[in-house]
Amino acid sequence: DVKVTQSSRYLVKRTGEKVFLECVQDMDHENMFWYRQDPGLGLRLIYFSYDVKMKEKGDIPEGYSVSREKKERFSLILESASTNQTSMYLCASSPSAGANYGYTFGSGTRLTVV
């Protein structure tokens, strides 16, 4: 069964810490995405990557960066965590043909910044 695996289900971090959220997919997909999910706001795109070492900003990139050194792994980095980054973070992947193939999502990482 194809999978997108997020390394942590729950994380609690302190304000100002550097936080790494890891995502790994085993489907050989070219595209990978990071979304955050907040009640009443749905999913908002933070960053996406369409190839190794390639990335593009999504709708809300401020305060975040990403890294994609290998095709299967896409990391989201909070350079200095703040309380307004408390949220559910969802990773997804899709084949290179585009969004019409649909995404495969991970189970999410619920991050709390205190």
Partner 1 sequence: AQSVTQLDSQVPVFEEAPVELRCNYSSSVSVYLFWYVQYPNQGLQLLLKYLSGSTLVKGINGFEAEFNKSQTSFHLRKPSVHISDTAEYFCAVSGPNDYKLSFGAGTTVTVRA
Q: What residues make contact with partner 1 under the rule CB under 8 A?
A: 4, 31, 33, 35, 40-45, 48, 50, 58, 90, 92, 94, 98-100, 102-103, 105-108
* Smallest distance from partner 1 to CB 80, Å: 26
Smaller CB distance to partner 1: residue 15 or 54?
Answer: 54
Q: Measured between alpha carbons, how far is 75 from 51 in angstroms, rounded to an integer?
A: 13
The C-alpha atoms of residue 51 and residue 22 are separated, in whole angstroms, by 17
CB 91, CB 4: distance < 8 Å: yes
Q: Which is nearer to partner 1, 14 or 39 (CB)?
A: 39
**Nearest-approach distance from CB 36 to partner 1, in angstroms:** 11
| Beta carbon of residue 3, minimum distance to partner 1 (angstroms, whole number) | 10
The DSSP secondary structure of 13-30, one letter per residue, reads: E-TT--EEEEEEESS--S
Which CB sits closer to partner 1, 42 or 84? 42
Comparison of 89 and 113: residue with beta carbon closer to partner 1: 89
Pair 58, 100: CB distance under 8 Å: no
Alpha carbons 55 and 32: distance in angstroms, whole number: 9
Nearest distance from C-beta of residue 5 to partner 1, angstroms:
10
